[in-house]
Structures are given as structure tokens and as C-alpha cells.
Amino acid sequence: MARINITYPDQTLFTCTLPVRITDINYGQHLAHDRLISMLHEARAQFFLYFGMQEANIAGLGIILSDLAICYQAETFHPDMLTIEIALGDPSRCGCDMVYRVSKENGKTLVATAKTGLVFFDYQRKKVASIPDEFKQLLES
């Protein structure tokens, strides 16, 4: 079976810490995959807020997630604290990849790497849109 490989870019733009809650645990007694996806969403929302933006309004545009990939490296349990780092990569005319590195124990243990494809979208016109200039600045930093 072919495995996917996610390479984390050189420059981290944002970092946040989130707890693994008891409600995030599945029947295997570790972090459930759907809960990790929710944690990535929370980290993404915090990323945008940190840079003075919102997912639904980045210079008048929103985003659509075109894809999601996760590679797991270690289990994590309640009440671990997860550090989620975010970088950007692979820009195109209308989007880019947002890449996540999830670790615990102050970065000593890599839990997962993940990526979501971001596509900028004009919800009023119902059309894909070019990356707004204020977001391009993040890609160029």
C-alpha cells in the first residue's frame, strides 16, 4: 500500500497549543482522527485571527478546503497538550497548502503532519478567486 508523505516547510508562521480533552478520546483510548481534524480547524481559525483575518473574510473572500491529508507518527492521550505549528506552501493563483506539524511534550514527540489545500472563494459570485494581496504577504514572508 502506497503511503503519503507530507514535508513540513522551513518557516513556521504560527504556533498554538491545544489540550487533548477527555471527549477527544476514542475507543482505542487515544486521540480520535475526527477530533484531530477539528483541532486543525481550530488552529487554522487562530492562525487567521492572529494575522487580523477571518476564514470567512480575507479581503472580502472566504476559503474552501480542497483536500486534507494526515500522516500519523505517534499516539496522543488525555490530558496531553498538543503544539500545532502552521506553515504555508505550494502557492498557486487561487490558493496554497496550509501545512501543520502536531507535537507533544514541548516538541519532543511528533504526533502528526497534515496539510489542507486552501482555495480562495468569492461566495457572492460563487467563483474561485485569486489570492488576495494581504494573504500573499504571508506567502512571501
Number of folded domains that form the chain: 1
**Model pLDDT for residues 18-69, shown as the tens digit of each residue:** 999 999 999 999 999 999 999 999 999 999 999 999 999 999 999 999 999 9
* Owning domain of residue 89: 14-140
**Model pLDDT for residues 92-102, shown as the tens digit of each residue:** 999 999 999 99
The answer to whether residue 93 is domain-embedded is yes
Residue 141 pLDDT: 76
The answer to whether residue 7 is domain-embedded is no
| CATH number of the domain to which 41 belongs | 3.10.129.10
Average pLDDT over residues 126-138: 96
CA distances for 60 relative to 22, 80, 95, 99, 135, angstroms: 37, 37, 15, 23, 12
Average pLDDT over residues 112-119: 98
The answer to whether residue 94 is domain-embedded is yes
